[in-house]
Amino acid sequence: MNAGEIKVAHTPPPDWIYGACLQRFKIDPLHTVWTYDGVIYNPGGDRISDHVIAHEATHIRQQNEIGADEWWNRALTDDTFRAEQEAQAYGVQYGFYCGQEKNRDKRARFLFQLAGSYASMYGLPISIAEAQATIKDLAPKFA
């Protein structure tokens, strides 16, 4: 799936997802994107970078496997499921970035940033180092 096939809406996602996420997670609602049923919701209207598109495309694929409603119900109630789904998406995001960026220092800083987001946004009981290792292990090799 490439960026040209993905729909982007500059609105919040469906109310039941939006409300639950705002209540449960540490997020900035205007600078967070959500994916639901093949659409990336970007209420703040910020430019979405290609590596974030890769992350969200992973969620689209995940949702297509079990249905978007089932995916969100599980993501909102099952910490293990959410952690696994996000780890896969962050891995794809990091792999995509590494395919574009050859500078090792920039890659390392980006991995640290992703790991911080992954570990803290969802309240996971893991360290930044553990999050980095997980993301790196799940990153596909993009040429």
pLDDT digits (tens, 9 = 90+) for 47-77: 999 999 999 999 999 999 999 999 999 999 9
Residue 1: its pLDDT value, please?
Answer: 47
**Do the beta carbons of residue 64 and residue 39 sit within 8 Å?**
no
What pLDDT is attached to residue 4? 55
How many CB atoms neighbour CB 67 within 10 A?
11
Q: Please list the ranges in the chain whose pLDDT falls under 70.
A: 1-4, 142-143
Please give the pLDDT value at position 93.
97
